[in-house]
Amino acid sequence: MGRSEDLFARARRVIPGGVNSPVRAFRAVGMTPRFIETARGSHMTDADGRAYVDFVGSWGPMVLGHAHPAVYEAVCRAAAEGLSFGAATEREVEMAELVCSLVPSVEMVRMVSSGTEAVMSALRAARGFTRRDKIVKFDGCYHGHSDGLLVQAGSGVMTAGVPDSAGVPAGWTRDTLCARYNDLESVRALFAAYPEAIAAVIVEPVAANMGVVPPEPGFLEGLRALCDEYGSLLIFDEVITGFRLGLSGAQGYCGIRPDLTTFGKIIGGGMPVGAYGGRRDVMELVAPLGPVYQAGTLSGNPVAMAAGLCQLGLLRDDPDFYGRLEAVSGAFFTELERRLRAAGKPWRVNHVGSLGSVFFTGEQVRDYASARTADTAVYGSYARWMFAHGIYVAPSQFEAMFLSSAHTPADLEQALDALSAWLREIA
Ligand code: HOZ
């Protein structure tokens, strides 16, 4: 038995399922989890000394690769000054100024510790502002694990094949309305049914938790118009897309201005950070300025702020960063799809910028229903092969592949060669 198996056996005795987050249990691909010891650049090494080219990147934040030397330095310097104060610091001001300067729709921003917290708090602000209770989310979009949002959620919930979570009282999801991604009519119908009750529409502007599903032309524009028509707020959950698709996230990429935006781990360079922000008149309702309460000792943690400031600063100071990353990623995903076609497979590759997914279905994937037509057994076969050949892909069909600026042409070739070898194996 290898060390990862040993560790997993120990873990299962004391941690539910042996892991601290369900997807990383690898159940969906019929494997035991890899226990990671180190990560540098585009590579990770597990407890058995096996090296992988990493296409998960801690689920997004490692856009510069793992342990970037400047980020590491910034973290060490900050740690030497103290790990947590539970008090205001200059770095938090710098971070807020930086985010507001990079994302035009964000006039004020509040730091929290995770994407889940960011979304939960943004919805509270939206409800406080509009004095309405209902929210609209989309089937297959994932917004963290707070009670009201575990309805037809993507990511781990979708991977486990359960529409909702046990332990969430029915009353807590009564005000959560579900619409279909890329289907404006389904949203319009909800507004028609509840014209004065919907506080906000929350959406992943590029869905990346049912695999990657791009918004179709007009979808985000239509959401903006409907929210304006009915006096609701539009919230972009940019936990995955923020600072990944560009300095102003998916909203800059797609040219839509939401009222509120949520960010996640990328804003902390991979450390536990989230943030929510947006219109000044909404954010001014947050305590202590207003009656919408939200707080946290670890919010704006000084070490996490140092990591995030350094990473965001590097991204800002390299004017062609996103252009280069997108060009390399686009070529990679296009070649991946070409190899599937050459092998006579109808499978689909959806991609936007440095995010992509191979869907093992012949259907065009544009929403939750079509994503669910993917053959998860084939995904399992593909993932096991990729891991065995040194490629760390998401251990679930319903997650994204993340490229970083640290991926070299040799890394990408290794992944493509592994895919080709698997296609020959299953031919
Ligand atoms: N829900 C995360 C991806 N969308 C997975 C988190 C993890 O397992 O670490």
185 C-alpha to center of ligand 1: Å?
Answer: 31
What is the spatial distance between Cα 62 and Cα 143, in angstroms, rounded to a whole number? 20
137 is catalytic: no
Q: What is the Cα Rg of the chain in Å?
A: 21
Atom of ligand 1 nearest to the CA of 21: 8
Give Cβ neighbours of residue 70 (< 8 Å, ≥ 6 apart): 310, 314
Tell me how far apart the 2 most distant CA atoms of the chain are, in Å.
Answer: 63
Q: How does 183-219 read in b/e, with b if 16+ C-beta sit within 10 Å?
A: bbebbeebbeebeebbbbbbbbbbbbbbbbbbbeeeb
The pLDDT score that the predictor gives to residue 170 is 80
Asked whether 333 lines ligand 1 (CB < 6 A), one says no
20 lines ligand 1 (CB under 6 A): no
The overall pTM is greater than 0.85: yes
Give the CB-side neighbour count of residue 5, counting CA atoms within 13 A. 3
Atom of ligand 1 nearest to the CA of 208: 4
pLDDT of the chain, 427 residues: tens digit per residue: 799 999 999 999 999 999 999 999 999 999 999 999 999 999 999 999 999 999 999 999 999 999 999 999 999 999 999 999 999 999 999 999 999 999 999 999 999 999 999 999 999 999 999 999 999 999 999 999 988 888 777 777 776 655 578 888 888 888 999 999 999 999 999 999 999 999 999 999 999 999 999 999 999 999 999 999 999 999 999 999 999 999 999 999 999 999 999 999 999 999 999 999 999 999 999 999 999 999 999 999 999 999 999 999 999 999 999 999 999 999 999 999 999 999 999 999 999 999 999 999 999 999 999 999 999 999 999 999 999 999 999 999 999 999 999 999 999 999 999 999 999 999 9
Whether the link from the prior residue into 205 is cis, omega within 30° of 0, is: no
Query: Which of 29, 59, 145 has most ligand 1 atoms within 8 Å of CB, for mutation?
Result: 59
Our answer on whether the CB atom of 23 is closer than 6 Å to any ligand 1 atom is yes
Active-site option among 46, 54, 259, 265: 265
Q: Whose CA is nearest to atom 9 of ligand 1?
A: 21
Q: Is the CB of 238 under 6 A from ligand 1?
A: no
Q: Which of 46, 137, 142, 382 is catalytic?
A: 142
Tell me how far the alpha carbon of residue 384 lies from the centroid of ligand 1, in angstroms.
Answer: 19
Residue 391, beta-bridge partner list? 53
Please report, to the nearest 10 degrees, the dihedral formed by the alpha carbons of residues 267, 108, 76, 273 taken in order.
-40
Which candidate, 410, 404, 382, 416, places its Cα nearest to that of 54? 404
pLDDT of residue 157: 72
Distance 148 CA to ligand 1 centre (A): 18
Look up 265 and say whether it is catalytic: yes
Strand partners, 426: none
Residue 164: the pLDDT is 72
Is 156 a pocket residue for ligand 1 (Cβ < 6 Å)? yes
> Across-strand partners of 235?
202, 260
CA 240 to CA 113: how far, in whole Å?
Answer: 15
pLDDT for the residue 162: 59
Distance 21 CA to ligand 1 centre (A): 6
Ligand 1 center–CA 228 separation, angstroms = 33
320 Cβ contact partners less than 8 Å away, ≥ 6 residues apart: none
Q: Does the active-site annotation cover 181?
A: no
CA of 75 to the centre of ligand 1 (A): 23
Instruction: Name which of 427, 420, 348, 359 is nearest 389 in CA terms.
Output: 420
In SS3 terms, the chain reads as CCHHHHHHHHHHHHCHHHCCCHHHHCHHHCCCCCCEEEEEECEEEECCCCEEEECCHHHCCCCCCECCHHHHHHHHHHHHHCCCCCCCCHHHHHHHHHHHHHCCCCCEEEEECCHHHHHHHHHHHHHHHHCCCEEEEECCCCCCCCHHHCECCCHHHHHCCCCECCCCCHHHHCCEEEECCCCHHHHHHHHHHCCCCEEEEEECCCECCCCCECCCCCHHHHHHHHHHHHCCEEEEECCCCCCCCCCCHHHHHHCCCCCEEEECHHHHCCCCCEEEEECHHHHCCECCCCCECCCCCCCCCHHHHHHHHHHHHHHHCCCCHHHHHHHHHHHHHHHHHHHHHHCCCCCEEEEECCEEEEECCCCCCCCHHHHCCCCHHHHHHHHHHHHHCCEECCCCCCCCEECCCCCCHHHHHHHHHHHHHHHHHHC
Which residues does residue 401 pair with via DSSP β-bridges, in sequence order? 356
The response to whether residue 59 sits with its C-beta less than 6 Å from ligand 1 reads yes
